[in-house]
Amino acid sequence: MGEPGNDGSGRGGRRQEVRSQIALAAMDLFAEQGFESTTVDRIAEQAGVGRRTFFRYFRSKEDAVFPGHDERLADVVERLRTTSDEADPLQVLTEIAGLVLDMYVAEPQVSLKRFELTRQVGALRDKEIASIDRYQRVFARYLRRCWAAGADAELHAAMAAAAVVAAHNQVLRSWLRAGGSGDPHVQLRVAMAVVREKFGGRDPGAGEVVVGVVRTSAPANEVRGRVEDALRHIAT
């Protein structure tokens, strides 16, 4: 979470292609010769475009790795600000996590290269982490607002926001480690169901059913018995 890469404009394939080409060239150079000593001119040259073209797509060197950082975070802030109070907050964050994931999935090659690069260049890794933290703080602030009435709302909001980000990042990391193939959205839904199981009790969604299964060596009959006990506590 935090360093999205999708263009999102309607101009389609060609624009996206040039953009990816520049981003990949930039990241190759950062990995080879370091972030500081790589110039925009060198990136443009490597990508086979002019300097002006570079700046049509990216504002800075850093922007080529983590495009549109501030704007995207501002979008999320605005979206959360205007979300209905009726909405289930963790469902809202599930959707936002899905949108962030979309941005990675839209450009697998760029996402893979970035994943590799941030493991090599500490300074970029730190920038990525700082960006992730900003999302986490925005999520925590939103949950605090939603849960303001509850006891320890601040603690729960901080923990739940951290869990949302951890779930997203875990799914993203698995997808990247597997070479960026396939659709990780199913995994994200599963992971977010776990987050909601842990933290959703503060504001349960209407009609929603979450079944959490924990592996155990107990016989299925005993599990069934315990489940039946638990069900007795649910209103019919």
What is the rounded CA–CA span in Å between residue 198 and residue 208?
Answer: 14
Task: Answer for the pair 103, 3: CB distance below 8 angstroms, yes or no.
Answer: no
**Shortest approach of a copy of itself to residue 232 CB, angstroms?**
9
What is the rounded CA–CA span in Å between residue 69 and residue 66?
Answer: 6
Which residue, 50 or 227, has its beta carbon nearer to a copy of itself?
227
The residue among 78, 93, 101 whose CA lies nearest residue 164 is 93
Query: Tokens at residue 80, please?
Result: 């959360």
Which residue, 113 or 144, has its beta carbon nearer to a copy of itself?
144
The residue among 103, 102, 127, 105 whose CA lies nearest residue 27 is 127
Q: Interior CA angle at 204 toward 207 and 194, to 5°?
A: 100
Query: Is residue 14 at the binding interface for a copy of itself, with CB under 8 A as the rule?
Result: no
Query: Is residue 86 at the binding interface for a copy of itself, with CB under 8 A as the rule?
Result: no
Among residues 91, 150, 176, 185, which is the contact residue for a copy of itself, using CB under 8 A? 150
Q: Which stretch binds a copy of itself (CB under 8 A): 9-17, 47-55, 62-70, 227-235?
A: 227-235
Binding-site residue total for a copy of itself (CB under 8 A)? Answer: 66
> Cβ–Cβ contacts within 10 Å for residue 226, how many?
12
Query: Tokens at residue 5, please?
Result: 């890469």
**Shortest approach of a copy of itself to residue 65 CB, angstroms?**
15
**Shortest approach of a copy of itself to residue 60 CB, angstroms?**
15
Binding interface with a copy of itself (CB under 8 A) = 125-127, 129-130, 132-133, 149-152, 154-156, 158-159, 161-163, 165-167, 169-171, 174, 191, 194-202, 204-224, 226-227, 229-231, 233-236
